[in-house]
Chain A
C-alpha cells in the first residue's frame, strides 16, 4: 500500500450512472460455469448437426417421383377401403364417420422422406422434432444456469456483500431475475434461430423442403413456446436454489419431484396427472397440446378418462408453480436477517 498518497480521498469517484443490471450482466458473462455449459451446448449441437449431415442424403428426382407414386398408391388403396367401409352399417352407438374415420389424404402418411430409398431430411417431419430436442435440451441447461446463478451467491455469502452496495433487497433480486430472464430468452431464441437456419439448410441439401401451407406458422409458434419454456426452467432453477440457499438442494428437489412425486401420482392418483409439470410441459410445447389419458381405477376392463391440456392452460400451471416458489424465496430474502 505504498501509493497511499496517490489515493483521492475526497469526494467524486462516481462518474457513471449506477446500474445493478449492468453489474449483473457483467457477472453473467464472466461466470465460468455458464461459459463452459454454453460451450458444451455448442459442441453438442455442432456434433449433432454434423452427424445429421452425414446421415441424410438429398433424394434424386427419380427417387422423389417413386416416393410420390408410392404415397399416391397408398392413398388410393386406403380411399378404396374407406369407400367400402362407408357402405357398411356401423356398430350400435357409433356413427359411420367414427367407424371408418376421415377420407385418407397424403398427409396421413407423414413426410415424403419416409418413402425414399435412402433417408432424406424432411422439414415437415424433422424440423419440429429437432426444434423440440434442442429447445428442451437448452431448457435443461437453463435450469442449471438459473439454479447456479443464485446458488453461487448463497454459497459464497455474496448476497450480504451486495446489500452493502444496494440495500433494497427486492431491487437486487429483481435485477438478478431480469438479467437471467432476458439473457436466457435471448440465448433460447438464438438456439431456435440457429436451428431454423440449420434445419432449412439441411433440408435443402440433404432432404426435401416440401411443407404444408400452415407449417411455418405452427413451427414458429412452437419455437416461441420453447423460448418461454427455457425461461420458465431458468426461473424454476433460480426459485428452488433461492428457497433452499443451495444449488445442490435445488437439483435434489427437482430429481425427487420428477423421479418420485410424478411416478407416485401416475400410479396412485392418475387423475392428478393434469397438474404434473411434465404433462403441462408437453401440453405447452406440443403444437397440438396434450391429452392426458388414464384408466379409471377399479372399473372393469378400464374406462379411459381424458383431459386436454391446452397451450395457455399448461403455461398457466407452469407459471403459477414457478411464481409461487419464486415469490416464497424472495419473500424470505426480504424479511430474513442475513449473515
Chain B
C-alpha cells in the first residue's frame, strides 16, 4: 500500500478571462510508505493543486486518488486524523495567539494540551506562544504551521514549501525534523519544494512535475542517474598531465583541461580510458564520473517550464 497513489488525475480551472487552465493533466504518482518523498516542479506545474486535491479542497475532474490506501475525497473523514498538512502559507486566525490557534485545532482533533505544548516546544515557539499570530515574523508563522501539522502525529505529513521564511538555522532544523520523521518508520513525508538542494539533501525519493504531469519519479539517486552524462575527470600525476592529454586525444577522446586533471567527455565505458593510459605507461591517480546534480536534471526534464524556478538554495 502506497501512502499516495494518483492515477490519471485531471483538473482544469475555468477562468473568466484567458480560457481554461489545465493545472493537472493526466498525473500519475506513487508515493511509497515511509521516508521522505520530494515533489518538485516549476511554478504553475500543478504541485499545490495536487496537494489540494489530496486534501479534498479541490475536486479533480477525473482520475483516482488514494491516500494511505483509501480513496479521497470519499474516505477523507476517516483519514484526516492520520494526515498532517501545511499548504503554502500557514493560515491561522490573525488576532489569536499561536497558543489559542493550536488550542482550537486541538479541540477539533481531540488533542491534549500537553501535546500542543510539546509541538510548540519542538518548533521553538513556546516562549512566544501568547503573542498574536499577526505579529509573528514569516519564519515564526511557518514554525507554527509545522507545529500544527505535527499535532496529530500524522502517518502522512504533507509539507508545501516548509522552509519559506525561515532563517538558515531554522531551515536546518526543519530539515533535521523532516529527516527524523521520515526515518521513524511510521511517517511518510511528502515534501513539495522549489529548493532543489533541499530535496536532494532531505528526500529519499522524488517526483518531478511539469505542466500538470509527472515527468520523472523514483529514488533521488536513480533520477539523478537519468541525467548522468558519461563524462569522467581523470586525475594524473602533474608530470604526466600533458602527455596524458595527448594520449587520450590520440585514442579519440574529447578532452579538456580540468582543475582536477583532464575532463574526458562521453567516454562510454571508463575502462577504455584506463586501458589507453596504461598502454602508454601512464597510471591513474583517480577516475571520477561526472554526475549531474538535481538542478541539471530538473531543468532538463521541465525544459520550458523551468524558467521561473528559483534553482538555488539559500542554506
Contacts and interface: CB of A to CB of B under 8 A. Distances in A.
Interface in B1-42: 13
Contact of B181 (A9, A23, A30): A9
A180 to B, nearest CB: 16
Contacts of A27: 93, 96, 104
Nearest to A16: B110
A30 B56 CA distance: 28
A189 interface: no
Interface residues of A, number: 43
A15 B107 CA distance: 11
A11 interface: yes
Contacts of B115: 8, 13, 15
Interface stretch (B147-155, B231-239, B276-284): B147-155
A18 B110 contact: yes
Interface in A19-36: 19-20, 22-23, 26-27, 30-33
Contact of A23 (B108, B124, B173): B108
Contact of B108 (A1, A12, A18, A31): A18
Contacts of B104: 23, 26-27, 30
Contacts, number: 136
A6 B122 contact: yes
Given A1-B173, A16-B110, A16-B112, A164 B118 contact: no
Contacts of B173: 1-2, 4
B72 to A, nearest CB: 9
A183 to B, nearest CB: 16
Interface stretch (B77-85, B193-201, B206-214, B259-267): B77-85
Given A17-B110, A160-B57, A165 B105 contact: yes
Interface string A300-330: 0000000000000000000000000000000
Contacts of B313: none
A11 B111 CA distance: 12
Given A1-B174, A163-B55, A163-B56, A6 B121 contact: yes
B121 A167 contact: no
Interface in B203-247: none
**Size bin of chain B's contact surface:** 35 or more
A30 B94 CA distance: 12
A17 to B, nearest CB: 5
Given A12-B153, A23-B104, A1 B58 contact: no
Contacts of B92: 156, 158, 161
Contacts of B73: 167
Interface string A141-171: 0000000000010001110111111111000
Contacts of A14: 81, 109-111, 152
A15 B95 contact: no
Contact of B153 (A13, A18, A164): A13
| Pairs A-B, 6 closest by C-beta atoms | A23-B107, A18-B110, A1-B173, A167-B76, A13-B115, A16-B110
7 contacts: A18-B107, A20-B108, A26-B103, A30-B96, A160-B57, A164-B80, A339-B58
